[in-house]
Structure 1
Amino acid sequence: MTKILDVSYTPLLDYGKAWDMQKERVKSIDLGERNECLMLLQHPPTYTMGSQRHPEHLLLSREELEAQGIGLFEIDRGGDITYHGPGQLVGYPLLLLDGGNNLDLHGFLRNVEQVIIDYLAQLGIESGRKPEYTGVWVGDHKICAIGMKFNKCRHHRGFVTSHGFALNVKAGIEKQGFTGIIPCGIEEYGVTSLEACAGKTFQIEEVAREIVSCFTRVFPYEVQFQEAKS
């Protein structure tokens, strides 16, 4: 039987609130109280530092962060530091991976990458992976960062996923918050955006809608659109 996936889009949501929403939803999915979901949204300017914890990859002082209005969160996903901000589509797939010791968690990450690769291919943009890094690349420029947490279930044998992907959409985002960090700790490569690669403009909500179709081709769910809570 096909499982239901609740999907929502929020134009702008504070990072801390979105993180709290994820944690609450993970618990309710584990308990069987709510459906799995895909939260699609944009954040105000924010840096998030993952479990690798390399503070030296943040190039701005606390005073500079405050002056520029950029939030900073040390969070529980894998990976290093990255930037979120307007013009970037963030996706949080909160999915139940119920398979005990046979789960392929690396394979799950590759499937999330495939969603983005398939979407870009629809637009005529050739993208792919770099074996040593998680994420999606157009040449030597990262267009989509991916960082997940696998939350061990208490009521199932597997995990509920949280955090997710961040697809750079609007041109110019490469020169915004990314200049204040060493993105994902990678110095030798840069970042790019959907608009820079395609040479045309996109609306974030339109991209979100199209990503859902690619997502359900890789992850077979029946979509149930929800009104976002801000």
Structure 2
Amino acid sequence: GLNCAIFLRSTTHYINEKLIEDGIPFVLKDKQIYLPFIGCLLSNSGERDIAPVELLSFLTQKLILTAIYEKWEKVTVSTAAEKLGVSKTSASRCFDEIEYLNANIIDTKGKSRAITIPPDVKQLWKQIQHILRKPVIRRYVFPSDIHLEKKAGITALCEYSLLSDNDFPTYGVMKKELADTEIKKLKQIRRGEEIGCVVLELGYFIDYGQKSIQDPLSVALSLTDEEKQDERVMISINEMLEEYVW
């Protein structure tokens, strides 16, 4: 009974999304009317109601930054799902979050929702920066260098600029990779010990350019307030974004 109702509801929702995406007119009695030739979608069913979003998910943030790098134009839910290697349902939730937070990169007119990145990426960044979150879940500090593959944070910034790195490297590791690295089993530094390396546990990682280096926008979001107090760091961030993003 209940499971059947849920299945029918989700199936109907999927079919409706597919019809809208393909621009096929349809009428569901007392529910939805879709007329693409006049750009009209009316609904009383509440199936397109967007749930409130308190904090942007890591997947949605990854989608937004990927869209910026690749300069997406009229990219639909299906295409976005393919680009990120996720399900259409997951991509659709990302679109819902972006729409709810009013990031102004989704076009809801016409036959489907689609993401288009405006030409002035620098201005867009200023507009959406307040809804973005730090990619760093947790910061580990170890007394010796454990030599991980991905460079992140301040070390990644140094790769993108002329800034000199600390005496120790900063690495990035995804949450799902923690078990393989056995990081949680390692002892972190005690007070007074010299730092061997810093490891940032990241909520997402974007394959940007050199795949072993955190992407520029995420680097800017990952730096600590203490690091940003250094004028040289701020100059390097601006140089990095000017060269690689804007």
User: Normalised by the shorter chain, which TM-score bucket?
Assistant: under 0.3
Structure scoring higher RCO (CA < 8 A, sep ≥ 6) equals 1
* TM-score w.r.t. length of structure 1: 0.26
Query: Which of the pair is proportionally richer in helix?
Result: 2
Query: Which of the pair is proportionally richer in strand?
Result: 1
